Chain A
Amino acid sequence: MEDSKIVELYWQRNESAISATQEKYGKYLSKIAYNILDDVEDSRESVSDTYLRAWYSIPPHKPVHLSAFLAKITRQISIDIYRKRTSKKRSGSEYALSLEELFDCASPDGNPEKEIDATELSKAISSFVSSLPRETANIFICRYFYFDSIRGIATYTGSSESKIKSILYRTRLELKNYLEKEELI
Chain B
Amino acid sequence: MKPEDIIDAMNSIDNNAVFEAQEMRKQKKKGKSWIKWVAVAACFCLVIGAVLGHFHFKPSNVTDPTTQPSTLIQNIPPVKNPFAISNAVYPDMLKIPSEADFTDENGNVDWVAYSDAFSIWSKECNARKNNSVSAANYSNFFNTTTKKFFADTKGENLVYSPVNVYLALCMLAESTGGQSRQQILDLLGAGSVEELRSNANKLWMSNYANDGVKTNILANSVWLSDSLKYNKPTLDILANNYYASSFSGAMGSPDYTKALQNWLNEQTGGLLEEQSGAIELSPDTLFSLASTVYFNGRWESEFPEHLTKADTFHAVKGSQTIDFMYQRLDGKPFYTDDNYSATYLDFQNGGKMWLILPDAGNSPESLIQNGSINSILNGSTPKNKQNNVLINVFMPKFDVVSSINLNEYIEALGVKDVFYSTKADFSPILAESRPAYVSEINHSARVTVDEKGCTAAAFTVIAAEGVMVPEGQEIYFRLDRPFLFVITSDDSTPLFVGVVNNVE
Residue ranges of A at the interface with B (Cβ–Cβ < 8 Å): 28, 63-65, 67-69, 71-72, 75-76, 79, 83, 95, 98-103, 105-107, 112, 114-116, 118, 121-122, 124-126, 129-130, 133-135, 137-138, 141-142, 144-146, 148, 155-160, 162-163, 165-166, 169-170, 173, 175, 177, 184-185
Contacts and interface: CB of A to CB of B under 8 A. Distances in A.
A165 B442 CA distance: 11
A118 B275 CA distance: 42
B408 interface: yes
Interface in B101-115: none
Nearest to A152: B25
Contacts of B15: 63-65, 68-69, 72
A85 to B, nearest CB: 13
Given A65-B16, A107-B1, A170 B25 contact: no
Contacts of B284: 133
Given A64-B15, A99-B4, A162-B442, A137 B275 contact: no
22 contacts: A67-B19, A68-B22, A69-B15, A72-B18, A75-B11, A76-B11, A79-B8, A95-B7, A99-B3, A99-B7, A102-B6, A112-B2, A118-B8, A121-B5, A122-B11, A124-B9, A129-B10, A138-B21, A142-B21, A156-B26, A157-B29, A158-B29
B19 A68 contact: yes
B44 to A, nearest CB: 15
B27 interface: yes
Contact of B1 (A79, A95, A112, A148): A112
A162 B156 CA distance: 14
B19 to A, nearest CB: 4
Contacts, number: 161
Contacts of A141: 10, 13, 17-18, 21
B18 A65 contact: yes
Given A155-B29, A166-B440, A102 B13 contact: no
The 7 A-B residue pairs with the shortest CB-CB distance, nearest first, are A158-B29, A160-B278, A68-B18, A102-B3, A141-B21, A65-B19, A68-B15
B18 A169 contact: no
Nearest to A98: B7
B38 interface: no
A166 B405 contact: yes
A142 B24 contact: yes
Interface string B271-283: 0000100100010
A72 B407 contact: no
Contacts of B5: 106, 116, 118, 121
B21 A137 contact: yes
A129 B6 contact: no
Contacts of A125: 6, 9-10, 12-13
Given A68-B22, A137-B21, A106 B407 contact: no
A79 B393 CA distance: 56
Interface in B445-495: none
B194 interface: no
A130 B3 contact: no
Contact of B2 (A72, A106, A162): A106
Contacts of B16: 65, 68
Contact of A162 (B30, B403, B420): B403
Contact of A156 (B14, B27, B403): B27
B36 interface: no
Contacts of B306: none
A71 B19 CA distance: 9
A122 B8 CA distance: 8
B154 interface: no
B9 A118 contact: yes
A106 B3 contact: yes
Interface in B294-322: none
B20 A138 contact: yes
A115 B2 CA distance: 9
Contacts of B11: 72, 75-76, 122, 145
Contacts of A76: 11
A54 B12 CA distance: 17
A155 B10 CA distance: 23
B439 interface: yes
Contact of A145 (B1, B21, B30, B403): B21
Interface string B162-189: 0000000000000000000000000000
A125 B4 CA distance: 13
B77 interface: no
Given A141-B21, A162-B403, A162-B442, A105 B28 contact: no
A158 to B, nearest CB: 3
Contacts of B440: 163, 166, 170
A103 B3 CA distance: 5
Given A68-B19, A69-B15, A157 B24 contact: yes
B277 to A, nearest CB: 8
Nearest to A142: B21
B36 to A, nearest CB: 21
B31 interface: yes
A144 B403 contact: no
B18 A162 contact: no
Contact of A114 (B1, B6, B18, B275): B1
